[in-house]
Structure formats: C-alpha cells, structure tokens
C-alpha cells in the first residue's frame, strides 16, 4: 500500500506515470526452471518443528529459484494494445501524419484538405477493423461468458482515473490505512455492542429451557493426515487467470511443477492441521484503497481491494 500511495503523489503540473510490479517471464524457460528446482532440498522442511519456519524456508527455497528465472520488475503501464491495426492502416496513419506536418509548415489550404481527407480515412478504417476484430474474437469465445465479457471490457471506453492529490506523507498515510483496514472488524463489532447497550437490546439472550440435542458428529470428526493427492487436487483446482499474491507466483507455475513441490507442501499442510497453528506469512496480503467518494485521505471513504 505504501508504494501505491507514494506513486499517487502529484507534481504541481502533472501526475506521475503509473507503474506496476510484476514477475517478468520474457526469458523464462520452463525446462531450465524444472532442472534447477529438482536440486532444491525441499526434504529438509519436514525436519523443522515450527510452522512459521517451515513456510519461510519453503518460500525462500522456491522463490530464490523462481526469481532467477522470472525476476521482479517495476514497469510503466502502457496504453492498451490495438491488435486490429494492420500494416496497411499503419501506413495510412503515417501518410496522414506526413500531410499534417506539411500543412503545419506551409499552412496551405490544399495541404490541410489532404490531411483532413486522410484523417477521415484512418478513422473509417480503424472503425471497420475494430468491428471485424471484435466479431472474430466473440466467435472464437465459443459462448464462454468470462471470455465474452473480457473482450467487451477491453473495447469499451474507459473512465478517466485521475489520481488524487496526496497532501500527507505517503508512508504515514499508508500506515494509517493499514491500521484502519486491519482493525475495521473489531471496531465495527464494538460499535454494535455500544449501540445494543444504548438501545437496551440484549445481544446475548438467555439460553432456551430446551435441552440441546447432543452433537453426535463431534466425536466422529477427526483430521486425517494430509496426503499428496489431497494437495494435488486443491492446487490443480486453482484458477490460472486469477491475480497472484504478494509473492508474485502465478497459479500456473505451481501447477507446472507440482510434482516437485508436492511432498513438501503436503508436509506443511499436515503440520498445520495437526498443530492448529497458522503461519504469519499466510496473513500477509497487498491492499489497494479504492476511493468511493469524499476525501481520499480518509480511510473510511475507501474500500480495500
């Protein structure tokens, strides 16, 4: 969140460009990654008797290899691509620009007329090409709702998203947002209790005189050891088109090399269920505040994404 708010600080005349931090797979070679991963001593995780240490060790071993093949880069967000623009259209756009430069230099009426003619021709060709491309993509979607909406959203006009002007120190503001989002649940619960007391409403009514039936399932329920096939079924069920977590590891990478990390992952999950502990690393997530309305620096006016 601190990086997001820091990037939102504007200069006096213009806003800074937007950047995102991603894993670069431009030079990623799956076979080389598989070979390097095979030499990682994941078996040592089963010798550790603390869940936090197990998770941290696994993450360190796996990510060190992954980041060598797919390094983390901070890139500038570019304008969305236009795959429907052909070489013929680019040539036509180049001709339009040539006549525009000539018209500016000479201020000749004929040159301006030629420029306007080519400008209209470019607009017409772009419109026809975009329609044909959208029609082709919709036919290729085979009725898949997700694919259809993705195509439609890619070609709908986007609203202007001007970043708000941040007057407070970005780091201090980020800490204030973090404190608000991590405590909003407990604060809301306390407000409910205070309101109940104010309205003389008993939120803990006396138990009924009826004896509750014994829960026969409680004695029958037992955690069984986590097997490799259990973890394999869960990981293969991950949706590959979802955004990765803060470690930048996409689901498709886990699926591609599942056979290598499966024993150590199953061991960690088995230890988690048997000890009833929850690793601190699993509680970390990236939160982006999205302004609903009002003052952007008031955490109450933002929703966490």
Is the separation of the CB atoms in 283 and 244 below 8 Å? no
Q: What are the phi and psi torsion angles at 20 (to 5°)?
A: -130, 150
* 104/97 Cα distance (integer angstroms): 11
Is the separation of the CB atoms in 76 and 18 below 8 Å? yes
In terms of C-beta density within 10 A (0-12 exposed, 13-18 middle, 19 or more buried), how is residue 36 classed? middle
| 187 torsion bin: left (phi>0), alpha (psi -120 to 50), beta (else) | alpha
Q: What is the dihedral of CA 132, 137, 139, 140, to 10 degrees?
A: 140
Neighbours of 260 (CB within 10 A): 16
Neighbours of 135 (CB within 10 A): 10
Which residues are bridge partners to 304 per DSSP? Answer: 289
DSSP result, 87-146: HHHHHHHHHHHHHHHHHHHH--HHHHHHHHHHHHHHHHHHHHHHHHHHHHHHHHTTT-HH
* 101/93 Cα distance (integer angstroms): 12
Q: Where do the domains of the chain lie?
A: 83-154
Pick from 55, 56, 61, 63: nearest CA to 42: 61
Contacts of 268-271 with C-beta under 8 Å, sequence gap 24+, read 268/45, 268/51, 268/54, 268/55, 268/58, 269/226, 269/230, 269/231, 270/225, 270/226, 271/51, 271/54
Return the structure tokens found at 178. 């973090």
Is the separation of the CB atoms in 64 and 277 below 8 Å? no
Per-residue pLDDT of the chain (305 residues; tens, 9 = 90+): 434 433 443 333 344 667 777 888 888 888 898 889 989 999 899 899 999 999 999 999 999 999 999 888 888 776 667 888 899 999 999 999 999 999 999 999 999 999 999 999 999 999 999 999 989 988 888 888 888 888 888 877 766 566 666 777 888 888 888 888 888 888 888 888 888 888 888 776 655 555 555 555 555 667 788 889 999 999 988 888 777 888 888 888 888 888 889 999 999 999 998 888 889 998 888 888 888 888 888 888 888 87
Q: What are the phi and psi torsion angles at 6 (to 5°)?
A: -65, -40
**pLDDT on residue 296:** 82
Distances (CA, A) of 285 to 53, 178, 244, 245: 19, 11, 10, 7
Q: Mutual orientation of helices 51-69 and 258-275 as an angle, nearest 10°? A: 160
């Amino acid at each position: 969140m601190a990086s997001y708010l820091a990037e939102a600080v504007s200069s006096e005349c213009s806003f800074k460009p937007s950047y995102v931090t991603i894993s670069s797979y431009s030079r990623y070679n799956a076979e080389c990654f598989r070979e390097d991963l095979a030499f990682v001593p994941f078996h040592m995780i089963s010798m550790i008797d603390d869940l936090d240490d197990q998770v941290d060790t696994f993450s360190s071993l796996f990510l060190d290899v992954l980041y060598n093949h797919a390094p983390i880069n901070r890139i500038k967000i570019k304008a969305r691509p236009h795959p429907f623009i052909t070489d013929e259209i680019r040539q036509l756009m180049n001709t339009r620009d040539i006549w525009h430069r000539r018209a500016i230099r000479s201020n000749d009426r004929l040159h301006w007329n030629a420029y306007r003619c080519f400008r209209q021709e470019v607009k017409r060709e772009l419109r026809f090409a975009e329609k044909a491309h959208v029609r082709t993509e919709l036919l290729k979607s085979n009725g898949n709702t997700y694919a259809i909406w993705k195509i439609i959203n890619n070609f709908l006009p986007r609203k202007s998203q001007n970043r708000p002007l941040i007057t407070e120190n970005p780091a201090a503001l980020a800490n204030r947002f973090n404190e608000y989002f991590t405590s909003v649940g407990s604060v809301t619960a306390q407000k409910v209790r205070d309101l109940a007391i104010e309205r003389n409403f008993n939120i803990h009514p006396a138990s009924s005189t009826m004896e509750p039936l014994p829960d026969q399932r409680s004695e029958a329920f037992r955690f069984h050891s986590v097997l490799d096939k259990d973890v394999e079924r869960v990981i293969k069920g991950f949706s590959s088109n979802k955004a990765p977590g803060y470690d930048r590891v996409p689901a498709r990478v886990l699926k591609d090399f599942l056979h290598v990390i499966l024993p150590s992952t199953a061991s960690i999950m088995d230890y988690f269920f048997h000890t009833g502990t929850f690793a601190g690393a699993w509680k970390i997530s990236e939160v982006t505040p999205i302004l609903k309305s009002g003052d952007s620096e008031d955490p109450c006016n933002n929703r966490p994404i």
